[in-house]
Amino acid sequence: MLIFIEMTLLDQGVHTCRATVRETLKTHQVVTSVLPTADDRELHICGGSTAEPAPQVLYGKLGAPGETLRPQRRWVAV
């Protein structure tokens, strides 16, 4: 995947190494919150963090949407 990203960025005129790309993109993460309930179930809520400016620039060069994903909710029996 990093090779694809690196080659796409090179095509866009961005000359950087894989380590720099990896370091830049690792700041944008997905967070999962687990909320237990009284009836032995858990509500899992997953959502993306807001990308900082540096990852947003890379997303733009890659043609990837940079907007935050809507939270996903899922009930799990424990």
Q: Which residues contact 18 (CB under 8 A, 6 or more apart)?
A: 2, 3, 5, 6
Which is nearest to 18 in space by CA: 3, 30, 38?
Answer: 3
Instruction: State whether the Cα torsion 59-65-68-73 is positive or negative.
Output: negative
DSSP assigned state of 53: H
Residue 77 has pLDDT above 90, yes or no: yes
pLDDT attached to residue 25: 86
Q: pLDDT digit string (tens) for 25-38?
A: 888 888 999 999 99
Domain range annotation of the chain? 2-77
